[in-house]
Structure 1
């Protein structure tokens, strides 16, 4: 039996997870010696779809074609929605309705990279555990507090498949293939793809702090982890000192040595970094962004933001909106 996949491309989709997933299926067919997997590319109107890197992919079918296929022999075994940059700007009621129709008919539905946003908007993630890229997790959880979202590589919850993107699509596809064909085929694919293992779904997305920040001191790493876990309600330096068993003076000295700035300054910077992501990834009012990042007032938030990024939160959002419009206009001109 041939397993049929549909890859539905959203403009500005991320090319890496898309190509990684398809290449995994292609290698599986080659190792098996027959066509166990078949796929087609779909998009809203059919034709070319531009990735975030500017590379165009020709789609085989349109949304209208896929809605008709749902009732016939071409019905897919798994539909994977692929998106990337500016997914929050994508609105298509017919697409949302099609996702719900797929779900109601018991079809398997998945997302790669930021497309978890689209499954959530269609109402498919209630009561489900899902994965999304770590960079998009803050905005997603603030917008969808009722959804059980995690910075996992991928998650499979009943008929819903969510993948954080990047190379995690390879891990998710290998997991699917292994369930049906076993470890022998998975190992053969890994050897062809020059990867030494299949990562478990819950393996961390980001590099460990030691590698990411160059932090060597274990106490400093412990403090930074505490800070990152308490952005909405920042801990006082006294609370941090009690938690790690150091004095305030010791913490101040360690941060100067390891991070080149005070713990208060570093804490402020990571809260503002989260605020910047929320401004870019959500339509939350600025005052709500301020509260979500532990600021007592919008005015204090704006003052701190301007000090670090040399513009106000409102200006940052307007500049990003303008940049997205330019990208869309360039993509439309290329399509013509």
Structure 2
């Protein structure tokens, strides 16, 4: 790629900023690489070394990402300065990497007043360390249910990223780019952030007001406003399911019309679709938390454990107890 003819004029070039990336075992490569690339390109586009970065992790040495690539770390968990920004990079089995040593280190460095963030599932590590108490935060949509159950004191959102004071979090994947572009704009102005986005061929920059998941019509492949409304209501009422009659009334339809709508577009009844949503959440909670099977059942709208087990077996061909026993890992992306 040819060098730019002219560097982008930037604001506030009085000092370099250092990012310290804490790579947890099996971290998600995309989330980490997207963040580093944004910093590298910012340096290139400005013609200055605005940013430096350091790779660290418990024990130093090396660490594998979830794609199997081995990364050499610069050092063990270091002592930092107030001007540093810590970004913990999580991924599969983040709870394994969230050790007592890591949490104590995060708490110690946070007391210095520096900015601490979590990429992908690393919001879990920050929450375990108590750094997100009373803060807004986000995590990958697949892990939202379990996170919400475990960390009630965190104000969990569905945003692609969140910057709440000196606490940062992203939902994983390309959301690291959105967070870094915001930081670049805050540090050095919109011109640099836009130039970096252009180099990344990133034409739709998202803000913290954008949500992670595709819209309901896009996800189900059907653009019918009332069907989308009903599914949205269902997703918002998993713990206390709403009857098909009330769902139909909420969107100005008869129960029979609602039934026909679901049969036509989704080849199943509203009751069956609702059950699948509840069972999907139940499976996430079984695989990603230590909640008892009874509490999982209650969280998903089942008042009877035996009924929950019967429905679960019919859908997944195994019991909730066997599912829990065969789980591969919690908080996996």
Q: TM-score, normalised by structure 1?
A: 0.91
Distance change >3 Å, CA 113–CA 210, structure 1 → 2:
same
Q: Report the counterpart of residue 37 of structure 1 in structure 2.
A: 51
Q: Report the counterpart of residue 3 of structure 2 in structure 1.
A: none
2-structure distance, mates of 1:216, 1:129: 32
User: Aligned pair 1:3/2:17, yes or no?
Assistant: yes
Q: Does the 8 A contact of 1:86 with 1:281 survive in 2?
A: no
Structure with higher helix content = 1
Deviation by residue 1:6-43 (Cα, 9 ceiling, x = unmatched): 00011111111100000000000000112110001001
Q: Report the counterpart of residue 128 of structure 1 in structure 2.
A: 135
Deviation by residue 1:300-334 (Cα, 9 ceiling, x = unmatched): 111111101101111112112xx459x9xxxxxxx
Shift of 1:147: 1.3
Q: Does the 8 A contact of 2:287 with 2:329 survive in 1?
A: no
Q: Report the counterpart of residue 4 of structure 2 in structure 1.
A: none
User: Aligned pair 1:173/2:173, yes or no?
Assistant: no
Which of 37, 41, 44 is residue 27 of structure 1 equivalent to? 41
Q: Report the counterpart of residue 80 of structure 2 in structure 1.
A: 70
Q: Report the counterpart of residue 333 of structure 1 in structure 2.
A: none
Which of 214, 217, 223 is residue 207 of structure 1 equivalent to? 214
2-structure distance, mates of 1:255, 1:324: 34
Q: Which runs of 5+ in 2 are unaligned?
A: 1-14
Which of 311, 314, 324 is residue 317 of structure 1 equivalent to? 324
Deviation by residue 1:56-79 (Cα, 9 ceiling, x = unmatched): 11111112xx1xx337xxx76100
After TM superposition, what 4+ stretches of structure 1 lie above 6 angstroms from structure 2? none
The answer to which structure, 1 or 2, has the higher relative contact order (CA under 8 A, 6+ apart) is 2
Which of 260, 268, 282 is residue 267 of structure 2 equivalent to? 260
Q: Report the counterpart of residue 330 of structure 1 in structure 2.
A: none
Aligned pairs (5 A) from 1:148-227: 148-227=155-234
Which of 112, 126, 136 is residue 105 of structure 1 equivalent to? 112
Q: CA RMSD in A?
A: 1.5
Shift of 1:127: 1.4
Q: Does the 8 A contact of 1:88 with 1:281 survive in 2?
A: no
User: Aligned pair 1:93/2:100, yes or no?
Assistant: yes
Q: Does the 8 A contact of 2:92 with 2:329 survive in 1?
A: no
2-structure distance, mates of 1:202, 1:90: 30
SS in 1 for 2:31: helix
Q: Report the counterpart of residue 283 of structure 1 in structure 2.
A: 290
Q: Report the counterpart of residue 331 of structure 1 in structure 2.
A: none
Q: How many residue pairs get matched?
A: 317
Shift of 1:89: 3.2
2-structure distance, mates of 1:180, 1:167: 21
